[in-house]
A and B are shown apart, each in its own frame.
Chain A
Amino acid sequence: MKIPRNLVKAKEKIKEITHYGADILSLDFLVLKSVKATLFFIDGMVNKADINKFIIDPLIGNDTPDEKITCKYLMENVTSFAEVSIADDMDKCVSAILTGDAIVLLDGLGEAMQFGAKGYQTRSVAEPPTSTVIKGPREGFNEDVKQNSILLRRKLKTPDLIFKMLKVGKYSNTNVFVAYISGIADTDVVNKVLSRLQQINIDGILDSSYVSSFLDERRYSIFKQIGSTEKPDVLASRLLEGRVAIFVDGSPIVLTVPYMLLEDFQSAQDYYDRADRATLSRLLRFFGILVSTLLPALYVSAQVFHLQLMPLRFLTKIMGSVREIPLSPALEMFFVLIIFEVLKESSVRMPKYVGMALSVVGALVLGDTAVRAGIVSTPAIMIMALSGIASYTVPDQEGTLSILRFIFLALAGALGIFGILVGVVFTMTYLVSLSSYGTPYLAPYAPLIRADLKDGIVKKALADQNKRPRSIRHKNDIRLRNSK
């Protein structure tokens, strides 16, 4: 929609579109003592000091110009604002106001000046709570998409780092940035991401997880299919491997595609530490996943079907503990795991000051009294604790592991070891047939890509990783030249 030349009509149009919103302020003034103008902005979203100093003061001015006043003339000769452009469309003007820009409408011109005067409060750059490191950069993304893109730009100072912006969400008009390195990222993957984002037709995007569900290749899978990070250094390294990043305004979590399961075994810390230590950590994470998923199931199957698998002394201890328990081993373990999940869920939601009390009640009082009352046995509590803690060795997969734990437990309770085997083969087959934007989910192990094993569970030194991972489609293979 074009901007009416008549200022009164233009002002009325903006007010009409924004339903005379109380938060949208306007200020009438004379530009260079000759042309009527109106400034629009949202209170609290702009930097008022900047507006006064760099927009209003120069525009009011003292001298009347010799030539005709146009937006172009004012931009070039009068204002001293860095981020300024001309808007000739009413929708663009309204959208700019709503995203925190200031708009100056001029009488008789049919165009407006758009000033990037955003000045709202954002969270400061801090270490993300979900991925802390002992050594290495500590900065993390926050909820401001522009600041996040700057954090990435500071890591990758190259013209090849490309940002593409889209607006997603009918009412939220959320800024979504797609970032990639043009010389590395595969064009098909970039286009696929852009096309999927353009197809999203939703009322509002409030967090990156909203976008993530539209980018998933299999929408109903319990397995995570899109990578995510809160750290600029991790994101930069992923872009350097050929991935594509998706920033969503309002979310500190940046999405990355393609995704493969191995990513969640790789911590930022691994790359700032010695390779052998990183290998040990990754092996422990892998072991953690197995323990978390299979330990309760193995315990139940051993107790119900395969007592002979347990060492004799261990067996007598367990039998002594479970003798008085009224529930069957499988039901007992279900009960304990459900209690654990409930405690976990409530501890996340509960205000911090009651959190301590909850952990005391949950861990000590509930656990201890349940054992004393003979409802559950001590080994079951121990297995639950081990399994629960182990799932946090790979925190991004914690939710999936919880679900799998219940599935395997059900299979073990019904069929014993054979049931666990059935579950394992099914899960393996399902996972090997998953892929994310052309990358096999379990690469580089299935299919086996030998070159990529250098950064697999066993990690080699950075100097040995002279090529980009083949698992991820990319344009440029070499990342380390003349290495010795």
Chain B
Amino acid sequence: MKEKEIKTGQIAMLFITIVPVTKLMILPTLLAADAGVSSWLAAAVFIAADLLVLLSVMTAYKIAPEMDIYNILSRSLGKAAAKVILFVYALYFILRAVMPMIEQKQLFVSTLYEAMPRFAGTIPFILIACYVCYKGLNALARNVNLAVWFVGAALLMLLLLALPAVRFDNFMPFLADGFLPIAKSLYRAPMWFGDYVIVMMFLGKIKAKNNRIRGVMAGGIVSGLITLLFIAVITGIFGILTVRQLSAITKIAKYNITFSNIGRFDWIPIIIMMIPVFLASAAMLYGAVTCLQHVLHLKNSIKIIVPLCALLIAAIFFLKDDLLIVYDLFQHVFNYAGFALQYLFPAILPLLAKRAVKKQGEFEVRYAQ
């Protein structure tokens, strides 16, 4: 992995490119299972929490712009604690990297393919995600620079095709069962949010004029709003039936009838939107590799990426066709990890950064004396 800097604009584009798309495959159904027609409200809560997380991480960046996550943790909590935390994060990012792959395969299998060879949808995906990860942060950022134009156009096209079918009475009854269904939804779905945590792994590599964070925050807000808009549109189209719409994104467009005289041109934007799914997975793998590099003291990332790639492929062989088992784990076991790693820890990161800067200052004074 070639370590280079990422600009704040590229981080913003990364959010806009990967965040909405990865939220539109399974998540609307999942949220609707508990929150019903108020699923957009559950999404709004998550998005707001995510933005606070982003603000917290970027505050840490402002406090210690030159420090990477390992520096912050090791100086504030000690090297051993830093390694333990980063190892846990590495596992978390590996799980997060697998999610887009499973969702994409699920979407393809349930729509475009009558039968997809067993490993055809997974092994090439893993190889490509690992390749992007190997090429590094710079390649990921530039990929996003390219993809954002096409993904933006695809999202717009899909939205325009979907909007005429939205019915506002589908949002009713609003909060008929109070906040409990939303709370249930919030309990089950955290692993589908919290994408901005990845910025923690960019710390120390962010290039910004005067350490400004406005661009990143704007990217976070825009990506959050797009996500919210699409979840609302899906709810507005399907209402209480959203829960039954697996891969709802393929059914929201105006011309979604198979074998029409127009053809499924709504698939053009959907297919384009599958490109960032690879990038989302690669971004998470990048996070995992960065963590493991610090834990194992390895500069050469290829020594981590190759075994990681082999491990993921082996896991696919082991799980066979039971990839959906992972879903259950995400909803019932890993959701606690999601809360802790996505929301609690990033919330205290500015405090840790402050402490790290203070310790660094003390060290420099002592060294100077």
Contacts and interface: CB of A to CB of B under 8 A. Distances in A.
Interface stretch (B127-135, B210-218, B294-302): B127-135
For the residues of B in contact with A, the DSSP-based class is helix
Contacts of B146: 428, 432, 442, 445-446
A419 to B, nearest CB: 7
Contact of B124 (A305, A310, A422): A422
Given A311-B261, A429-B132, A416 B278 contact: no
Interface residues of B, number: 41
Given A310-B263, A312-B261, A447-B7, A429 B131 contact: yes
A429 B135 contact: yes
A181 B222 CA distance: 45
B112 A445 contact: no
B142 A418 contact: no
A312 B258 CA distance: 9
Interface stretch (B26-34, B47-55, B267-275, B352-360): B267-275
A56 to B, nearest CB: 65
B152 interface: no
A475 to B, nearest CB: 23
B147 A428 contact: yes
Given A426-B131, A445-B145, A447-B142, A309 B263 contact: yes
A295 to B, nearest CB: 14
B139 interface: yes
Contact of A447 (B116, B135, B141, B149): B141
Contacts of A315: 259
Contacts, number: 100
Interface in A78-108: none
A308 interface: yes
Nearest to A426: B128
A308 B271 CA distance: 14
Nearest to B133: A429
A314 interface: yes
A418 B121 contact: yes
B113 interface: yes
Contacts of A308: 112, 258-259, 264
Interface string B88-125: 00000000000000000000100011101000110011
B132 A311 contact: no
B365 interface: no
Given A425-B132, A433-B139, A312 B260 contact: yes
Nearest to A302: B263
B59 interface: no
Contacts of B2: 433
Contact of B113 (A305, A432, A445): A305
A315 B132 CA distance: 37
Contacts of A425: 128, 132, 143, 275, 278-279
B8 interface: no
A461 interface: no
A421 B139 contact: no
Contacts of B274: 418, 421
Question: For chain A, what secondary structure do more than half of its interface residues adopt (helix, strand, loop), or is it mixed?
Answer: helix
Interface string B1-32: 01000010110010000000000000000000
A426 B134 CA distance: 12
A309 B124 contact: no
A448 interface: yes
Nearest to B145: A446
A312 B145 contact: no
Interface string A271-308: 00000000000000000000000000000000001101
B125 A422 contact: yes
Interface in A419-478: 419, 421-422, 424-426, 428-429, 432-433, 440, 442, 445-448
B262 interface: yes
Given A310-B263, A311-B260, A429-B135, A416 B145 contact: no
B331 interface: no
A313 interface: yes
Interface in B272-301: 274-275, 278-279
B263 A314 contact: yes
A418 B120 contact: yes
B89 to A, nearest CB: 24
B120 A424 contact: no
B138 interface: yes
B261 A432 contact: no
A415 B120 contact: yes
Contacts of A309: 112, 263-264, 267
Nearest to B147: A428
B71 to A, nearest CB: 26
A416 B109 CA distance: 12
Interface in A373-424: 414-419, 421-422, 424
Indicate the member of B261, B267, B271 with the most A CB atoms within 10 Å: B271
A440 B142 contact: yes
22 contacts: A309-B267, A311-B260, A311-B261, A312-B260, A312-B261, A312-B263, A313-B261, A414-B120, A425-B128, A426-B128, A429-B131, A429-B135, A432-B143, A433-B138, A433-B139, A442-B146, A445-B145, A445-B146, A445-B149, A446-B143, A447-B10, A447-B145
Given A308-B112, A416-B112, 14 more contacts: A306-B113, A309-B264, A311-B263, A418-B116, A418-B121, A422-B125, A425-B279, A426-B131, A429-B128, A432-B142, A432-B146, A433-B136, A433-B142, A448-B13
8 closest A-B pairs (Cβ-Cβ)? A311-B263, A432-B142, A446-B142, A446-B145, A308-B258, A425-B278, A446-B146, A422-B124
Interface of A: 305-306, 308-315, 414-419, 421-422, 424-426, 428-429, 432-433, 440, 442, 445-448
